[in-house]
Chain A
Amino acid sequence: MTTVADRPQTTVTTTERSLVLRRPRSTTGVWSWLTTVDHKKIGIMYGSVALLFFVVGGIEALLIRLQLFQANGTVLTAAQYNELFTMHGTTMVFLVGMPMAVAFGNYFVPLMIGARDVAFPRLNAFGLWVVVAGGIFLYSSFLPGVNGVPNGGWFGYTPLTSTPMTAGFLPGHGPDFWTVGLIMMGIGSTTAAINFIVTILNLRAPGMTLMRMPVFVWMMLVVAFLTLFAMPIITVALIMVFTDRQYGATFFQPNFGGDPLLYQHLFWLFGHPEVYILILPGMGIVSETLPVFSRKPLFGYAVVVFSGLAIGFLGWGVWAHHMFATGLGPVAISAFGLSTMLIAIPTGVKIFNWLGTVWKGSVRLTTAMLFSLGFIAMFTIGGLSGVLHSIVPADTQQTDTYFVVAHFHYVLFGGLMLAVFGGMYYWLPKVFGYMLSERLGKINFWTMLIGFNLTFFPMHLVGLWGMPRRTYRYDSGLGWEGINQLETIGAFIITLSVFVFLVNVIASIALKRGKVAGDDPWDGRTLEWSTSSPPPEYNFAEVPDVESRDDFWHRKYTEDDEGHLLPIPSGGAYGKQAPSPNGHGIHMPSPSIYPLVVAAGLLPIGYAAVFQSWIPLVIGVLVLAFGVYAWSIEPGTEEA
């Protein structure tokens, strides 16, 4: 993009004139990854970051389980236990669930809608680097001498977290690292959300109308809107906690008339949509895998899409069901109980649509399919225990017990993570060109299913028996020991399963032992299978012209009079007459270092906020300002 002077005769390109740093040109090596703006590379990095933090968050969970293995466990101190369950929750929500969904979305949304990249490639890279910066920032609190591992829970309730440090509820910098880190990651997810919406609305290939989009793309669109509107709310709540702590503001201080409940309202007004931000991408993934492995179109496409939208809307009206035990009054709790029950309807509709998709299909029980079916079963169990929480008296009994822990792990692990693993087995062949081993995959699936149920199903029981959450030890003689030991064993079976997955990825992809995937290993239905595996940098040599839903499928198959599938002999190809099949003449956005520079500038600003010190603030602001200005005058695509 050349910037032209307003006197037409003096055309000046900004390239030589104003860039301080030389334009990055490497296409291989570390530098190419640090400066890439390719949505596929960024997607891979998002996925790797999420997987790394999945392991970290998993280790934290294992330490928790080891502590609870016996009554009066001695593995952890109470303070360490608080830090670990806080960091486990924060990590799994903000550094695993959200980046993982963004990883799949980043890689596949442009491919699925027939685009060559996202609308704002550099902003996309910026979102990734902010999440990385946020992760580094949060985990730097573990460094010796910092005394600041977040320890107020992933929800950070006030006034525990907001009371000024000097008053001594939570001495140390824990809540400061937590609030500032979450605000940083909020910036990243907001930019990612804006990018998704603009990409999905604006960059669809010709003929790709909204109602022809794959359901996964639809779900990412809903998720992006939820993120867009939920993030500013928690940002405000976090700012208020931060100013309470650091500047003695009075927002949540009862002795000044402040209302700690306000924080809970703001947090859950973000927090409940956040639940759908986490689960809807999983629903989108299985809505892609189930039709492919059943060789049937998704049953009731429009209903699935509108159910997703309904969940997105209703998700804003149920937040207070997290607060039934706080004494909101009968009218409020009745209303929120009702709205919570309502949300079960679109969710149930989706479950039946998935079942309808599999029903009478030619089912292939691949690993991806097994994980998807596992998702349906486990998510349904989680959904059912969720409906129980809408019944206020029952919820009041279950609040802060392991029953709640069981519920949300069924939804988020049994739901989101099973779908994510299924998505990996389904899509990694497209990403890297090698199939994952099905034999290891099946071991992976069954150990995970068994380990998962062994860990989390018994939590329903101990929860109903009264075992409280977030309590670092329990007395012997309550009858909880055997069940807790079972749970810990289950957790180690999950660990084994994740280990099998990592071995599978390393052996099949990194060591290239896997079968070569080819363009379309699963007989897929959507556009990403029409291009090579891995796709070229420009995705499609010729932008596909879309004529129907599941367009790629309909180019491969037609139906006879009785509805049997007939392959089309030369079907399945787009762009056979492409003028430039090797991608010559396609201008892709050029790499840029500035997204990384701007994100790096946020890091010292974060430390400046936590430690109230001027030097990092000045450094951070200077780096940030330099990055923003250099970015804004750097053309998005360099002239060839």
Chain B
Amino acid sequence: MATIEQTTEVGGPPATSGGAPAAGHGPHATATGVTNMKLLMWLFLSSDCLFFGAFIATYLLYRGRADQAGPGPKDLFDIPFTSATSFILLMSSLTMVLALAAIQRGDHRRVRIWILSTALLGATFIAGQVFEFTEFTREGLHVDTSLFGSTFFILTGFHGAHVVVGIIWLLSLWGLSMQQRLPAENAEKVEVAGLYWHFVDVVWIVIFTVIYLVPQPGT
């Protein structure tokens, strides 16, 4: 669903709220001053918060329940490795910001460099996750092994899916820019993709902390 929001659409006339001076400016002026696209993305992310929130709550509820079959977190987690991939994902937020700054300056060569680096850093994180999943599966943890297996794979899996969607989105923007079709006036397209990307990063900070860093009772 996330990629649908790439389109910019303005139905109806620019509206301004009465009394107050026109809050927006330019052709996209709206009653709140926030453009439709950006508001849409903020609303989608607020909804997505509840999506991850429900999964994280489930993980916390089942965390460390006794008598679980199969390998547990202590047997599987390689904290330094996951810290490294987490660090790579966080660095992609930096390159995302640099891409936005570049397009706002009109520096299209750097836009392409930074968007591509963001996508590549994201892909590195996903590669790490694929490696981790393979490794855990080899050591005997499956989605149907235990509560830990179910909650771990589903929560981190859906986060990974979000990152993959973000990578596809970034590569699409990169393709547009390569075809000279991402002018500085469309900087908002990069900004909105950035909002999504930063959100996915922030969610990972929570997930990483909750799953990997907070010690589990009883294991």
Contacts and interface: CB of A to CB of B under 8 A. Distances in A.
Interface of A: 1, 3-8, 10, 12, 14, 37, 39, 110, 113-123, 126, 187, 190-191, 193-194, 197-199, 201-209, 212, 228-229, 231-233, 235-237, 239-240, 243-244, 247-251, 256-259, 262, 266, 543, 546-547, 588-589, 598, 628-629, 631-632, 634, 636-637
Closest 3 CB pairs of A and B: A207-B18, A117-B11, A248-B144
Given A257-B68, A631-B4, A204 B17 contact: yes
A598 B7 CA distance: 14
Contacts of A232: 47-48, 50-51, 53-54
A113 B30 CA distance: 13
Given A248-B144, A249-B144, A636 B9 contact: yes
B10 interface: yes
Nearest to B50: A232
Contact of A201 (B18, B32, B44): B32
B150 A266 contact: no
A197 B7 contact: no
A207 B19 CA distance: 7
Interface of B: 1, 3-4, 6-13, 15-19, 30-32, 34, 36, 39-40, 43-44, 46-48, 50-51, 53-55, 58, 61-62, 65-69, 106, 108, 143-147, 149-151, 154, 158, 172, 177, 180-186
Contact of B62 (A10, A121, A258, A589): A258
- Of the listed residues A193, A198, A266, A546, the one surrounded by the most CB atoms of chain B closer than 10 A to its CB is A198
Contacts of B65: 257
A23 to B, nearest CB: 15
Contacts of A1: 8, 10
Contacts of B31: 201-204, 208
Nearest to B184: A6
A194 B48 CA distance: 12
A517 B157 CA distance: 56
- Of the listed residues A193, A247, A256, the one surrounded by the most CB atoms of chain B closer than 10 A to its CB is A256
Nearest to B185: A4
Given A198-B39, A208-B15, A250 B54 contact: no
A630 to B, nearest CB: 10
A232 B186 CA distance: 30
A193 B185 CA distance: 28
Given A6-B177, A202-B30, A121 B11 contact: yes
A37 B46 CA distance: 26
Nearest to B29: A202
30 contacts: A6-B106, A110-B12, A114-B15, A116-B11, A118-B12, A120-B7, A121-B9, A187-B1, A190-B47, A191-B1, A198-B36, A199-B12, A201-B30, A201-B32, A203-B13, A203-B30, A208-B31, A232-B47, A236-B51, A243-B143, A243-B150, A243-B154, A247-B143, A250-B147, A250-B149, A251-B58, A257-B68, A259-B62, A628-B4, A636-B7
A247 to B, nearest CB: 5
Given A205-B15, A259-B61, A249 B154 contact: yes
Given A232-B53, A249-B144, A636-B10, 10 more contacts: A115-B13, A191-B1, A202-B31, A203-B15, A203-B30, A206-B17, A206-B18, A233-B51, A237-B54, A588-B11
Contacts of A237: 54
